[in-house]
Structure 1
Amino acid sequence: MKKIFSTYVASILFLIIAFLLFTDRSVAQQPGWIEQDLPQTMSGQRLPNRGDDVLIFTTQYSDVVYFFDIRINVWTEVNLGSQQTFEDALGSGNTVFAYSDEYIIAYSSILSQWDTVKYEGTVLDPTGISTRRGYGCGDKLAYFITNANIYYVFDSELAEWKEYDFGFVSNTSGFNNFWAADIYAGAIIQRNGYDYAKNITYSLVTHSFADLDQGGWYYYPDHIMHGGYVASWSDAATTSKFFGYCAATNEFKSITFPNNFSVYQFGSQLPYTSFEIVEDIFIFTVGYAVGDTQNRDVFVETYSTKTGNWYSYQYSFDPQDYGLPGWRAGGSFSLGIYASTGNPIYGLWKFYSTTNTYIGEIPDIFGNGLFICGGKVAVGTGDHNLWFHNFETGYTKHKYFAPNDDIYNLPQLGAENYCSVFRVNTTSDTMRVFFFNGNTDNLQSVETYKLPNSSATATPRVYGYVTGGPNNEVIFYSEQKDSLFIYQATEAYGGLSANNFLIAHTLSSSFTLFDASTCQIFEKNFPIGSSNAIGGSLVFVRSGNMELTAYSGITKNWTTQQTYQVINAMHVGDEIAVGASVNFAKYWAYSAYDDSYYELEPEGSIVSPFSMAGGKTAIVIRTTKVYAFSPGDVSPVIEDDNTRVNSYSLSQNYPNPFNPSTTIKWQQPETGNVTLKIYDLLGRELTTLINEELIAGKHETTFDASRFSSGIYFYQIKVKNYIKTKKMLLIK
């Protein structure tokens, strides 16, 4: 890696930042606007962007790049030593990134550090769509791929660029796929004809690259998976292959299927529908059958990105059955669905990732069977009955009804931890809506006016449905509280918009907000104006020409600000929002952390773009200055329940940097022995914080570093097959 600054200069800057951080913490971490003067050498198109808690700014022609990080509340200037022509700047999560005609530069808000490299070659397909162009940015990494056959990845957990020379790739088609996922970056270079594709990945778990020269094709974001993916290849004559990649192990594992006259039928994993809103998907299932209609053997393979393994199952088909199972995948399970002759009786093969086993079931689904999968729950409907199943607890719930040709059941939604079904009566104006909750294994329902052609608005945490009818009914459902409400609006119909645990029902001159974390309903006598008014933890609305009103999902308070100027534009993030006056002469930033507004009257002439907001920060741009908004010394928003844990994760310690103690948080979806250890920069074990069996849920512990000197340390957690390491910085 070629650092622009020498080690000496970088060390001096590090000490300056440390001094700013800890000499007067109370001043440095106050919320408000922080300005940065711009040198006259910057010109051309402005290139700002933002992540969740970090900003980047440069211009088309410039020798400097600026970063703002709310963790340290200061602008960081990086001088590249010579005038550059910058092409683009991107941001997401904890990472921002830019590239010029010579350099790639990125910043990590996890460690509050940056790195830059003078790259070789030119970037691949720079003007293509996001998954075709050779550069991009994810929450914890950025990537850059050049025609010199080098794959550069910025690892935000290390705040370093990594590079990999993947060599010359022959017979390329020019059609490639590049992407940044949750804990890995992927690159697939396609070859012509039936030649294998080249697969390259970088894992944030192992902090290393993996290369599969004879791999398969996977188009992100089709079949989005977490922790890895499954690619496929076929010669269209004799053989099909599937390649599973697991970021936890940073390895590829493949299976081979015959693809010839002996194969009776393939059973591929079906694509996800708009009715399935699943956050974390770890499973991919495929199968095939050999034989004929009377005598068939079925072979099934399921890949889990949690373990990095394929799991096989074989069975013989009953001659009365028809159709090889079409596999539907949930977050951590899959369903193989088949039917019998005569009056169709549906059968299931279920794969559980908790035990990595297959179990068969006849769920008593008759007639027109339909199935929808959620994260850990599934729902099936027949002509006269309902079937609900929790793949985490193994609980099954049946609901039977007397045969009635005037009534049909329609599976309506499969979310992370809940699913819903409509039971519609064609001879009346009512229907019954069922909700099954995977956190409680509870089934409940409500009868309401039917509007079956309408669609729900939902997130994994909240659900809304406008039924209309004489009472103007709106259904609200909270996944966290497992609570169902019927709200009577003042007008018929209207629209719904939702984000995270907040959902708003909007009418022409008013709106109603439902907070699913508390099940509170708020009525407001002014319109919400835009579906973009709802952030992850707030609502930000122009309540008058010269008035802003906001709701904090953190404090659960409403706050109003008189602006005395007409409001022209608004930007909404997750925990902050910004409103601007009609001529952009003034800005008002709102923080959901403290229910406060912070006014800014920027200096200099207006330029384009004027401003933008990220999750927790925002930027305002002028000819001679840029301004960043910081919410101050804030802690991460922590949910108050242990029921939502469905995957392993280790959080970044907070605060970071720290002195002398810091908090480490993690979550585990199952009970197991947990070890949490501290290591120094040389990999020597210093202390063990945790070594005991802990139940599934969210946990935290404190690391007191009073006896250790300033420096970089690592903390590593091990729970069963899950291993994760993160870096932290102690400054005394």
Structure 2
Amino acid sequence: MLRKIYLISLAVVFLTADIFSTKYYVDGANPAAKDSNPGTEALPFKTIQKGINTAVAGDTVIVKYSTYFENIVIKNSGNITAGRIVIRGNDSITRPVIDARSIIGVTQVVFWFGPGGTPVDYVSFENFEILTRTDPTENIFAVWINGDYNVVKNCKIQQADFTAIQLSSGSYNLISNNEIISPGWNAISWEANTDGNGRRCDYNIIELNYIDNLNYHTAINGFPYQSGGNWYLFGGEGNMVRFNRITNSLEGMYFRVEKSLSIYGNIIDNITGSAGIHFDHFPDSTNELYLSNSKIYNNVIANCKQDGILNTNALGLDIKNNIFFKNRLHTPTEDDYDLVFDPLVNSPTHQIDYNIYFGEYSVQDQVNLYGSAYTIPQMYSTFGFEEHGSFADPLFVNEPSDSFNIQPTSPARDNGVALDTPYNVDIVGTFRPQNLLFDIGAYELIYPLPVELNNFSAKVFPDSVILSWTTVTEINNYGFEIQRSEDKNNWGILGFVAGNGNSNSIKNYSFTDKNLERKTVFYRLKQIDNDGAFEYSSIIELDLGINESFELLQNYPNPFNPTTEIKVKNNVESFSRLKIFDVLGREIETLLSGNLKPGVYNFEWNAKNFPSGVYLYRFESGRNSSIKKMILLR
């Protein structure tokens, strides 16, 4: 089953501008659409290419759902003053489809190609599904980027003929939240100095992508164009690969001559042919070394047929807080390990510590350093590596599933080393540490909440009040005692709803109070653990004297970046407030404060000035209120 992870992106801020911008619309399903139209919502363009050709810096092209049988050439650049050109599918879930399977002679379906082949900068391409032609005589790319400060996000690319997303040259680009299934060669690749153009690939961010079923090459691939003998001058610098999920791939990640590379918070699982992460040399330079100074932090590298990390020519690797799990899928006598460092890279520049190793077999010679096999204690006694490392079962939740969350009793909990920003966030946006120290691996165990309530709300009906709440996770949850009060001091018990014990999926609960009195009442939940420990929820206040009723809906989209819409169905005219709070309960913005008549209202919140994370929104109508949770993803 396709697994899709919605994750929190702590992205570098890329500039957008709405002032003096124009929105153009493309709607291939609208009978009135044609490219001679002005491109308004009422009179949209027929083709995406027409919208792209029309847009200039700061403009947005909104493409409504349809199947578009065309290839796309992006010719115009945005700029730092007016902002990006944004090309956006209207819906991030039901994406417009670009179907180029019948177009002959096109090798790049979505192609950044300025006048005379010049780079194109400051363009954002979002929310599309892309289908490419398969041709054994040509290499066909779904997306080909040539330029700086560009964005490709929320796209779905299935069965790309060659590479799904190719960054031919360019820096400060963001490739985020894409689903790439069954590409023919690489899923995501960057290649500086393409065809000797002299352009670099530095400070790009590859994050939050889901890559599955790659049988022929590498999921994430980065190296300079090697022709001409000067490729060492063009090795990437400062690129960041984080929070990606790679599964069922021939090789996980492959790099040549990358410097100051950051690889953190990724899950690399079921690598069927080679290494999880591979630092390699060019075929004509087996004796060349370079100082990489790259950081490999808080990853899970699991079920690799061969090596977890293979290093043949990079110096200065910093490897900490990773879990190596059941790699070396052969018999113990075969020459594959969690870590393999070639004799050529024998150097005191490496730092290896705070990692957990656990193999399929009960042997502890998990690493091969400079030509010899070592256990974890031997690594420390011989090289000073892994003073705090261990050979232990990390105790994943529901193992052998592939969630890779850790249990509360895991040796990975509170045993990592503290790291500075941006490495203090896990794969789902949880800040580290949640307890005393960093956890090891991609996930930080949320502590001390055994049960995480997503929302707690009430609906008022003429003869009843229905209380509803949702949990995201549960650990040893015995259940919920429903309590009511008239003064918030003296509480009575209305009833009990049993919990689900242990759960990592969303659970919905409700309770109906039919014993009503027309007065102000307060409700709360008492969540009780199996061991008798308990904690209270937030309090809901209702004025039942006037039968006030409203419905606060879940924001959409959720997760979002940077804007989302909150819908309220209000049934009684009253003074109302809609406020935004951070996860600590601090009020950060008020969207509404005033009299609200009956009706349906949509409120937009723009979170461009706030960091990624979990936020709460509360609607108050008279003396009634409801709270819900939302997630900002960057």
Question: So what's the TM-score if we normalise by structure 1?
Answer: 0.31
Query: Relative to total residues, which structure has the larger strand share, 1 or 2?
Result: 1
Structure of greater relative contact order (alpha carbons < 8 Å, 6+ residues apart): 1
Question: So what's the TM-score if we normalise by structure 2?
Answer: 0.35
